[in-house]
């Protein structure tokens, strides 16, 4: 059974702080996806990680992939309120679409 | 840039009623998907279609049927709605089933079954 586990599932942090969201997956996939979802909205693609050691950065967010450890991380640097959202990682290890984690609900307080 | 368009956006059904959720994409993608999202559960795959004319079950297919009408359109049908099907439904599409492109999502359909 494919599993994608994120932690933490809920995170409340202050503006200006750094933090990391972890995503463990169970397949031998070499690709991993990160999405953002705002309340009541759809999912927006953030990063596509296609190989071991891949690192991508967009503003205050940086994602990385370690296929040997089956681990991806989403690092937030100097958080700002606008980054408050739910973040999902998803694995494409199976034959049938993406398998999502349960999401990390991130609240960034002033 | 329409991308993936779902209709309707909201729907309330009575138990036992039927309905079809419509989805269309204009990105010339081969693969299309239906997911449901429930609080604390992430997104779970209901059905997918790797190409026109093919459909396959995902993780939670019971109570649903799908039709890949053509390359653009992929519909989801609830034949006899149940309260357990109250959820937010997302349609998505991607270039290749196992390709390197991410999936693009529609705006979602919020369905309540009473």
pLDDT tens, A41-93?
999 999 999 888 889 999 999 999 998 999 999 999 999 999 999 999 998 76
Disruptive mutation site among A8, A86, A96 for chain B (greatest number of B CBs within 10 Å): A96
Q: Mean pLDDT, to the nearest integer, of A16-34?
A: 89
Please report residues of B whose CB lies closer than 8 A to that of A95.
97-98
Of all helices (H) and strands (E), which one includes residue B76?
strand B74-78
pLDDT at A96: 63
pLDDT at A18: 96
Residue B53 φ/ψ region, left for φ over 0, alpha for ψ in the -120 to 50 degree band, beta for the rest: left
A18: which 2 tokens?
């750094």
- Would the pLDDT of A30 be above 80? no
- Would the pLDDT of B2 be above 80? no
pLDDT at A93: 61
Cα separation of A20 and A7, whole Å?
Answer: 9
pLDDT at A50: 84
* B67–chain A nearest CA distance, Å: 16
Cα separation of A36 and A21, whole Å?
Answer: 13
- Would the pLDDT of B99 be above 70? no
Measured in whole angstroms, the distance separating CA B78 from the mean position of its chain's CA atoms is 11
Disruptive mutation site among A97, A101, A105 for chain B (greatest number of B CBs within 10 Å): A97
Q: Taking a C-beta distance cutoff of 8 angstroms, is the pair A34, A47 a contact? A: yes
pLDDT at A28: 72
Using DSSP's 3-state secondary structure scheme, residue B86 falls into: coil
Q: Taking a C-beta distance cutoff of 8 angstroms, is the pair A66, A9 a contact? A: no
Among B13, B114, B3, B21, smallest CA distance to B75 is for B21
Number of neighbouring beta carbons within 10 Å of residue B71: 16
Question: Does the beta carbon of A95 lie under 8 angstroms from any beta carbon of chain B?
Answer: yes
A39: which 2 tokens?
């309340």
Please report residues of A whose CB lies closer than 8 A to that of B108.
41-42
Number of neighbouring beta carbons within 10 Å of residue A61: 19
Decide: residue B57, CB within 10 A, 0-12 exposed, 13-18 middle, 19+ buried. middle
- Would the pLDDT of A1 be above 80? no
Number of neighbouring beta carbons within 10 Å of residue A90: 25
Res. A29 pLDDT band, cuts 50 70 90: confident
């Amino acid at each position: 059974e494919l599993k994608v586990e994120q932690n933490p599932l809920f995170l409340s942090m202050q503006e200006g702080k750094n933090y990391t969201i972890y995503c463990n997956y169970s397949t031998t996939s070499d690709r991993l996806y990160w999405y953002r979802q705002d309340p009541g909205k759809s999912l927006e693609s953030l990063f596509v990680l296609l190989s071991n050691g891949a690192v991508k950065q967009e503003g205050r967010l940086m994602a990385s992939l370690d296929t040997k450890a089956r681990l991806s991380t989403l690092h937030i640097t100097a958080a700002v309120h606008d980054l408050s959202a739910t973040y999902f990682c998803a694995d494409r290890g199976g034959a049938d679409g993406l398998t999502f984690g349960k999401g990390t609900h991130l609240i960034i307080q002033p | 840039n329409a991308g993936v368009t779902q209709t309707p956006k909201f729907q309330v059904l009575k138990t036992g009623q039927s309905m079809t959720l419509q989805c269309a994409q204009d990105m010339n993608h081969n693969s299309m998907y239906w997911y449901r999202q429930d609080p604390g559960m992430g997104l779970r795959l209901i059905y997918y279609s790797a190409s026109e004319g093919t459909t396959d079950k995902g993780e939670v297919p019971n109570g649903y049927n799908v039709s890949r009408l053509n390359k653009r359109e992929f519909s989801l049908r609830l034949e006899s709605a149940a309260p357990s099907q109250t959820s937010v439904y997302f349609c998505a599409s991607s270039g290749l089933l196992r390709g390197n492109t991410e999936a693009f999502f529609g705006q979602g359909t919020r369905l309540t079954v009473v």
